Amino acid sequence: MSAAPRPVIIAGNWKMNSTPADAGALAAEIAKRTDVDGVVRVVCPPFVCLFAVRDALEGSGVEVGAQNVHAEPAGAYTGEISGQMLAGLATWVIVGHSERRRDQNESDSLIARKILRCAENGLRPILCVGEDLSERIAGRAEKTVREQLESTLEELARDGSSLPGDVVIAYEPVWAIGTGRTARGADAAAMAEVIRSALLGGGFENAAAVPVLYGGSVTSATIGEFLDEPSIDGALVGGASLKVDEMAGIVARAGLTAQARRAAAG
């Protein structure tokens, strides 16, 4: 019998969309339409919608994630949300998303501290890494992603810590998000191997078991190309995660991958 396959995960990042008035109904409808065996489903609404989404998803099997967490446990950080505040509202957190790296100038050092806060509060991190267009054109894509991971691991080590064993990595080719450019399954698969190699080189012995998601404007029409790659374990879905039909299609295709992996593992 083969080793247990990595889980297939579909996480929806709603970004700055929905309100407490409509988020619960949207989450409940997504849960109903995506009830597929073998797929881990996560919905990540805005902070103000966490209560509504958590309550709407109770008993559905769909898990709740937050889109960010502050790097400090508490303090004078107006407008920020701590890990302790999220505990009980969410069980996952997106960390280091490309938009926060770009717009809030988040560094690998800061992101590492956010991962520490996740571990302290029982929150499973989805750590995002990826290169921008200039880096890909210059042939530095793999170097960029490797350095992001190495810097994060080094910062954690300085604190006497390491990546939590339940970490998930989302590869975001920034140049393919909302630009009209398209990444291919082979691009994502190659980067997944770089990611696991960097983790192993950084002392994370369980690197082969770390799920790697694709996060580049995926839709129900494109998800298959990525899930056909054995090294890709799902997707971090952006705009399509707000559309019930799109999520239903994405999760249905993910279910086929999960089924095939279980059969192959015996």
Q: Which residues are catalytic?
A: 97, 172
Taking every pair of Cα atoms in the chain, the longest distance, rounded to a whole number of angstroms, is: 53
Q: CA-CA distance, 67 to 251, in Å (whole number)?
A: 20
CA dist., res. 93 & res. 83, Å (int):
9
Q: Which residues pair with 63 in a beta bridge?
A: 42
CB-based burial of residue 97 (10 Å sphere; 0-12 exposed, 13-18 middle, 19+ buried)? buried
Q: Which residues pair with 235 in a beta bridge?
A: 10, 214
Between the alpha carbon of residue 202 and those of residues 109, 114, 191, 260, the distances in Å are 15, 19, 16, 31
Q: Answer whether 22's CB lies under 8 Å from 29's CB.
A: no
